[in-house]
Structure 1
Amino acid sequence: MGEAKRRKSKLGEKYGQDERILPWVPITKSQSELFVSLTTRGAWIGIGGMVVLWVTIRFIGPAFGWWNVV
């Protein structure tokens, strides 16, 4: 408990707030972690979409007569 009180008195008004990545960048560490998780999920969704598109064009398309150049 003594350590928490010392830290609270040292930080003052900033106690309990998220820490910024850099003092001059208005982005907190939790916001940066959220950004990384969202962009990673988006990248995997994009990869999955490209695989579905490739399978459709490569295998399903010629079966129906689309793009008979194989």
Structure 2
Amino acid sequence: MGEAKRRKIALGEKYGQPPQFLPWLPISKNQVEQIGKWINRGAWTGIGLLVVSWVTVRFIGPAFGWWQVNW
């Protein structure tokens, strides 16, 4: 009997299904990786928006304020 048949008999209905991340949580390891990718992308998007808003407040805002005061 080959290893694959032994594993199929041992796992029963769970054979061929992706492994779970935690036994009590119905999320597979592949889904956890996808969630991690989305969180990572969202974090970098937030950092980018923070930098853009900082540049706007720090440099562009005072430039427009100077233009209005000297008119």
TM-score greater than 0.5 by the shorter chain = yes
Structure 1 runs of 4+ off > 4 angstroms? none
How well do the aligned residues superpose, as a CA RMSD in angstroms? 1.7
- Could you give the per-residue CA deviations for residues 6-28 of structure 1, whole angstroms, max 9, x where no partner exists? 11121121111011122211111
Counterpart of 1:65? 65
Show structure 1 runs of 5+ residues with no match: none
Moved more, 56-65 or 4-13: 4-13
**Which residue identity is paired with 2:16?**
G
Scaled by the length of structure 2, the TM-score of the pair is: 0.82
The SS at the match of 1:17 is coil
Question: How many residue pairs align between the two structures?
Answer: 66
Structure holding more strand per residue: 2
Distance in 1 of aligned mates of 2:40 and 2:65: 36
TM-score, normalised to structure 1, is: 0.83
Percent of matched pairs sharing the same residue: 67
Note the residue ranges of structure 2 that are not aligned, 5 or more in a row: 67-71
More helix by share: 2
